[in-house]
Amino acid sequence: MTVTDLVSYEDALASYDPVMGLEVHVELGTKTKMFCGCSTELKQDANSQTCPTCLGLPGSLPVVNAIGVESAVKIGLALNCEIAEWCRFARKNYFYPDMPKNFQTSQYDEPIAFNGYLDVQLEDGEIFRVQIERAHMEEDTGKSLHVGGATGRIHGASHSLLDYNRAGIPLIEIVTKPIEGAGTRAPEVAKAYVAELRELIKALGVSEARMEQGQMRCDVNLSLRPHGREEFGTRSETKNVNSLRSVERAARFEIQRHAAVLNSGGTIVQETRHFHEEDGSTTAGRIKDNAEDYRYFPEPDLVPVAPAREWVEELRKGLPELPRVRRNRLREEWGVSEHDMQSMLNAGAIDPIVATIEAGADAASARKWWMGELARNANESGRDLASLPITPEQVARVTALVKEGSLNDKLARQVIEGVLAGEGGPDDVVEKRGLKVVSDEGALSTAVDEAIAANAGIADKIRSGKVAAAGALVGAVMKATRGQADAARVRELILEKLGVTEG
Ligand code: ADP
Ligand code: MG
Ligand code: ZN
């Protein structure tokens, strides 16, 4: 189905009621893997971070990562879940070369956390409660690189390379109950849920949850049912959607596609689908009917996990302020609207802004740079704000230079550009590029005299009372000083020298 065959979003929602299920995988930020001592540092040579356990060699035995369990409990608590008194790992059996053991160690019918909820705030401030089915522990797979084909997919490739550095990295999978009642706002709810979850994960300090780096990815399950029908329709499952915007677009596209299929009398097949950034469409993956059989069974090599109640209560007491509560507090402190706060949340800007304020900037300047120049740069380079090569301290330094008058906004933008380009910190860039507002009165005065001399006609106009013409002289001075003069001061000097007062 091509994009043009879709039913319009409004028409789809006029006939059908969407039901969604969101499965989010979060890669934990532990130093070592879930069941062995290998480093989780990924920027290493292929297969250098491996050992007999994560390669599944005979005779090797796994040991559970305590920080992994602690992180899972924290996530469960923050999602208002019950924490299992006793649970086990399970083997999910399947053959695919990215999992060298031929099974993935996961949890099945005994998740560590279950029956919770997460309240998410929609753009108009309304709170929507998303019910959580479970959060369970598992491990990531290795990475396959399909070589020789045009698309990078296995189809058409001549051979595949495997890198097991990622195999065994701890993951927490968080699964919602079917989300009903969102109606036309289903895509917005999906995005808001993933955004809120990402903030929560970051606040807990268990992962940096950078979606563009795959540290957090979302499978979007979606089905439609005619208005008034109880029973759910057949769902599709769009896999590994890795940005907030894409989550929203994938849900939207699937609503329109399902409606088109159903309207034409077709049936939806239960299948996985791939999302395409370029046009926001999805295409079929593999058929996934209920006959899919992973032959789950309890993992015999690992002892059960039985978190002591006192420990769980201790972790509960140590939970940080919830992101939504914190956002409301910050919104009041900063005096911004709900909508502005939502934009900052979606841009992942809240933490960088807070850190910039902590480094000495005032709130308005910190917001201005992160949501302006830096957000634009992040967008253009397809990165998120947190991974831009500039620190909150450096942004704070730029705001300090503006405040003390040694940079104006235009120069500050160049300084930021220099920092992002790897030319060093703000002071280095100022130094190397020679970017400083000319505040030396003598130099400014000379520049103004020169501009007046070179533009005698304009100067006469100003003398005769046409103060508006001063702009042209200010422009000439700014040009002569390569934008490095304080424009307001230049204007004052011009009027002073020409003996006019504004009024
Ligand atoms: P699977 O392993 O097949 O992905 P899960 O139970 O892990 O199954 O996840 C399925 C997700 O889809 C859950 O979030 C669930 O709430 C949701 N879901 C189940 N049935 C439907 C349906 N008919 N329509 C939409 N979502 C559904
Ligand atoms: Mg799934
Ligand atoms: Zn290992």
- Exposure string of 314-347, with b = 16+ CB inside 10 Å and e = fewer, is ebeeeeeebbbeebeebbeebebeeeebbebbbb
What pLDDT, on a 0 to 100 scale, did the predictor assign at position 444?
84
What pLDDT, on a 0 to 100 scale, did the predictor assign at position 44?
77
Distances (CA, A) of 408 to 49, 64, 399, 413, 472: 48, 55, 10, 9, 19
Q: Which two tokens stand for residue 61?
A: 């035995």
Q: Three-state SS across 80-110?
A: CCEECCCECCEEEECCCCCCCCCEEEECCCC
User: Could you tell me the pLDDT band of residue 443, with boundaries at 50, 70 and 90?
Assistant: confident
What pLDDT, on a 0 to 100 scale, did the predictor assign at position 440?
74
Domain span at 335: 321-433
> For residue 170, is it within any domain?
yes
Q: List, in sequence order, the alpha helices (H) in 383-440.
A: 392-403, 409-420, 426-433
Average pLDDT of the segment spanning 454-470: 89
One domain for residues 287 and 420: no
User: Could you tell me the pLDDT band of residue 291, with boundaries at 50, 70 and 90?
Assistant: low
User: Between 482 and 344, whose confidence is greater?
Assistant: 344
261: three-class secondary structure by DSSP: helix
User: Could you tell me the pLDDT band of residue 45, with boundaries at 50, 70 and 90?
Assistant: very high
User: Between 154 and 352, whose confidence is greater?
Assistant: 352
Name the domain count of the chain.
Answer: 3
Its sign, for the CA torsion 268, 274, 110, 84, is negative
Look over the chain and give the mean of its residue pLDDT values, rounded to a whole number.
92
Cα–Cα distance between 244 and 218 in angstroms, integer?
9
What pLDDT, on a 0 to 100 scale, did the predictor assign at position 2?
53
Q: Which two tokens stand for residue 151?
A: 């698309």
Distances (CA, A) of 346 to 27, 131, 221: 20, 21, 21
> For residue 159, is it within any domain?
yes
The alpha carbon of 242 and the centre of ligand 3 are apart by a number of angstroms equal to 26
User: Could you tell me the pLDDT band of residue 54, with boundaries at 50, 70 and 90?
Assistant: very high
What pLDDT, on a 0 to 100 scale, did the predictor assign at position 154?
82
- E strand or H helix at 340: helix 338-346
What pLDDT, on a 0 to 100 scale, did the predictor assign at position 290?
65
The alpha carbon of 253 and the centre of ligand 1 are apart by a number of angstroms equal to 18
In this structure, of 8-22, 192-206, 285-299, 391-405, the range with the lowest mean pLDDT score is 285-299
> For residue 316, is it within any domain?
no
Average pLDDT of the segment spanning 6-34: 97
Q: Which two tokens stand for residue 353?
A: 């802004």
Burial of 82 (0-12, 13-18, 19+ CB in 10 A): middle
What pLDDT, on a 0 to 100 scale, did the predictor assign at position 121?
87
Q: Which two tokens stand for residue 467?
A: 């103060």
Average pLDDT of the segment spanning 286-298: 81
> For residue 218, is it within any domain?
yes
Query: Domain end: 397, 417, 433, which one?
Result: 433
One domain for residues 457 and 373: no
One domain for residues 411 and 452: no
The alpha carbon of 319 and the centre of ligand 1 are apart by a number of angstroms equal to 29
One domain for residues 37 and 93: yes
* Residue matched to tokens 């491996």: 50
User: Could you tell me the pLDDT band of residue 34, with boundaries at 50, 70 and 90?
Assistant: very high
- Nearest ligand to the CA of 142 is 3
> For atom 18 of ligand 1, which residue has the closest CA?
21
Taking the chain, what is the end-to-end CA distance rounded to the nearest angstrom? 67
pTM for the predicted model, two decimal places: 0.81
- Nearest ligand to the CA of 293 is 1
One domain for residues 188 and 275: yes
Residue 140 has pLDDT above 60, yes or no: yes
One domain for residues 86 and 132: yes
Q: Are 472 and 448 in contact (CB under 8 A)?
A: no
For 111, other C-beta atoms within 10 Å of its C-beta total 27
One domain for residues 475 and 375: no
Average pLDDT of the segment spanning 472-486: 86
- Which atom, in ligand 1's list, is nearest to the CA of 177? 16
The alpha carbon of 70 and the centre of ligand 1 are apart by a number of angstroms equal to 26
Query: Domain end: 311, 330, 355, which one?
Result: 311
What pLDDT, on a 0 to 100 scale, did the predictor assign at position 150?
80
Work out the angle at residue 493's Cα, subtended by the Cα atoms of residues 488 and 499, and round it to the nearest 5 degrees. 130
For 69, other C-beta atoms within 10 Å of its C-beta total 18
One domain for residues 425 and 449: no
- Nearest ligand to the CA of 166 is 3
Give the start-end residues of each E strand in 360-495: none
User: Could you tell me the pLDDT band of residue 312, with boundaries at 50, 70 and 90?
Assistant: very high
One domain for residues 62 and 31: yes
The pLDDT tens digits of the residues spanning 368-419 come to: 999 999 999 998 888 889 889 999 999 999 999 999 888 888 889 999 999 9
> For residue 503, is it within any domain?
no
One domain for residues 329 and 414: yes
Query: Domain end: 311, 330, 349, which one?
Result: 311
Residue 4 has pLDDT above 70, yes or no: no
For 155, other C-beta atoms within 10 Å of its C-beta total 9
Cα–Cα distance between 465 and 468 in angstroms, integer?
9
User: Could you tell me the pLDDT band of residue 1, with boundaries at 50, 70 and 90?
Assistant: low
Residue 209 has pLDDT above 70, yes or no: yes
Cα–Cα distance between 257 and 240 in angstroms, integer?
19
Cα–Cα distance between 131 and 176 in angstroms, integer?
6
Average pLDDT of the segment spanning 79-99: 95
